[in-house]
Amino acid sequence: MENAFRAGRFVTQSPGPSGFSAFVPAGLPPNPSIRWDSELHDLLEIANRALGRLDGATLIAPNPDLFLYTYIRKEAVLSSQIEGTQSSLSDLLLFENADAPGIPVDDLREVSNYVAAMEHGLKRLKDGFPLSLRLIREIHGIVVRGSRGADKTPGEFRHSQNWIGGTKPGDALFVPPPVSEIMPALDNLEKFLQDHKTRTPLLLKAGLAHAQFETIHPFLDGNGRVGRLLITFLLCAEEGLREPLLYLSLYLKQNRSAYYEALQRIRIEGDWEQWLKFFLRGVAQVAQQGVETMRKLLDLFARDRDRIQARLPGRRGLSALRVHEVLKQRAVTSISLAATATGLTSPTVASAIEELRQLGIVNEMTERQRNRRFLYVDYFKTLDEGAA
């Protein structure tokens, strides 16, 4: 029981047949403090090394922005899929080109909002704004605007009880803290994020903060998406990463049951250690995958550049290479977008894209006469793993 109180306490609400217990988390860092064993030590070292390799890979890449555009969108798709949306990465890329036939608009808007929230938060942090409750509210407002959660007080902490699973608090799998306990819990979380008392190693801080945020569940909708964004914001704010290239949504999607079980063990048993081990395994795995993906893409870009130069002489080759540069930044493009980006005429771009199509580098996605969209096939396949 003492270990359970380490994570917080259950408080009875509305006693009687219709009553229920809500969970109020204890403050961070955990007390008693994290119990280190050899496995946790090893996992932290492995995860730190993997994160360092991922961060270092951005220095090797000639232009990290080539990866960021689609990386961020892959994360948006995966994070939203965890919440039940059905859109894919290709759907999102078409939607951003104002063209995603047959896909539920609400799903695509939620994913697009996630991208906008990510970009807004990163810009605020780069401009010196602290990772704070105010920024979290801003992010939430963007995440749910104009979507299915738009009627649930965007950008405001909740004023009513919510729950996870079941049809009401009485039969829920988990009931977050009552309204009266939200702000004390959030104030403690903000102080923890800003290291007001003691400094916590960055990856431990990210794991602890994410779990605590999910337990507080301070919004009526969008908590999961904001909680996953919080990990990225914290790593970038404290310079664990120069660029936002670590995204855990694929790992959490593939290990969804273990993820929810590990969070629940914190609340029931006070078992922060097992949660941190699960989290650090994910960081190490995803960081390593990120490095491998960047290597594959750099090899792909070089290989396709060589193919273009070998097969297309003179101006034809130069035009195709310029269009190839556009496709490296956005895996989906159109003749008009590529013409604007390159400064080439539309007929010249159309000819270059046809050359790239014959080389097997691009495919047409839309199969129509006007406003056609073209996909950089192998680039997309490399990034789309797990996001379909």
Give the pLDDT of residue 372. Answer: 86
Task: List strands edge to edge, sheet with 332-333.
Answer: 332-333, 374-376, 362-364
Place of tokens 């839309």: 366
Task: For residue 207, count CB atoms less than 10 angstroms from its CB and return exposed for 0-12, middle for 13-18, buried for 19 or more.
Answer: buried
Mean pLDDT of 63-70: 70
pLDDT in tens, 220-231: 999 999 999 999
Place of tokens 């890449």: 61
0.85 exceeded by pTM: yes
Which amino acid would we find at residue 120? H
Q: What is the pLDDT of residues 165-202, one digit of tens each?
A: 889 998 999 999 999 999 999 999 999 999 866 689 99
DSSP string for 256-273: HHHHHHHHHHHHHH--HH
User: By three-state DSSP, how is residue 376 classified?
Assistant: strand
Token pair recorded at residue 183: 């702000």
Q: What pLDDT score was predicted for residue 378?
A: 92
What pLDDT, on a 0 to 100 scale, did the predictor assign at position 74?
77
Q: DSSP for 142-187?
A: HHHTTSTTTTS-TTS--SS---BSSSSGGG-SB----HHHHHHHHH
In order, the DSSP letters of 75-108 are HHHHHHHHTT----HHHHHHHTTT--TTS-HHHH
Nearest-CA neighbor of 229 among 242, 215, 214, 240? 214
- Report the alpha-carbon distance of residue 338 to residue 315 in Å, rounded: 17
Range of weakest confidence among 143-147, 152-156, 297-301, 318-322: 143-147
pLDDT higher than 90, residue 80:
no
Please answer whether residues 238 and 46 qualify as being in contact, where contact means their C-beta atoms are separated by less than 8 angstroms: no
pLDDT tier at 253 (50, 70, 90 boundaries)? confident
| Domain 312-383 annotated CATH 1.10.10.10 | yes
Q: How much of the chain exceeds pLDDT 90, in percent?
A: 60
Alpha-carbon distance of 34 to 31, in angstroms, equals 8
pLDDT of 264-323, one tens digit each?
999 999 999 999 999 999 999 999 988 898 888 889 999 999 999 999 989 999 999 999
Instruction: State both tokens at 276.
Output: 């941190």
Residues 6+ apart with CB under 8 A from 283: 47, 50, 51, 203, 246, 248
Average pLDDT over residues 352-367: 91
Among 7-16, 58-67, 102-111, 131-140, the range scoring the smallest mean pLDDT is: 102-111
The residues, any chain, with a CB within 8 Å of residue 16's CB and separated by 6 or more, are none
Q: Which residues contact 12 (CB under 8 A, 6 or more apart)?
A: 19, 20, 21
Which pLDDT value is given to residue 102? 47
Q: What is the spatial distance between Cα 247 and Cα 249, in angstroms, rounded to a whole number? A: 6
Domain boundaries, the chain: 2-65+147-292, 312-383
Q: Which residue in the block uniquely carries the two structure tokens 């396709």?
A: 304
State yes or no: cis peptide before 218, omega within 30 of 0: no
Cis upstream peptide for 32 (omega within 30°): yes
* CA distance linking residue 264 with residue 209, whole number of Å: 15
Q: How confident is the model at residue 1 (pLDDT cuts 50, 70, 90)?
A: very low
DSSP 10-73: EEEES-STT-EEEEEEPPSSPSSPP---HHHHHHHHHHHHHHHHHHHHHHHSS-THHHHHHHHH
Between CA 30 and CA 98 the distance in angstroms is: 47
Cα(293)–Cα(74) distance, rounded to whole angstroms? 13
Instruction: Identify the CATH number of the domain defined by range 2-65+147-292.
Output: 1.10.3290
pLDDT tier at 107 (50, 70, 90 boundaries)?
low
Q: Are 5 and 272 in contact (CB under 8 A)?
A: no
What's the pLDDT score for residue 100?
44
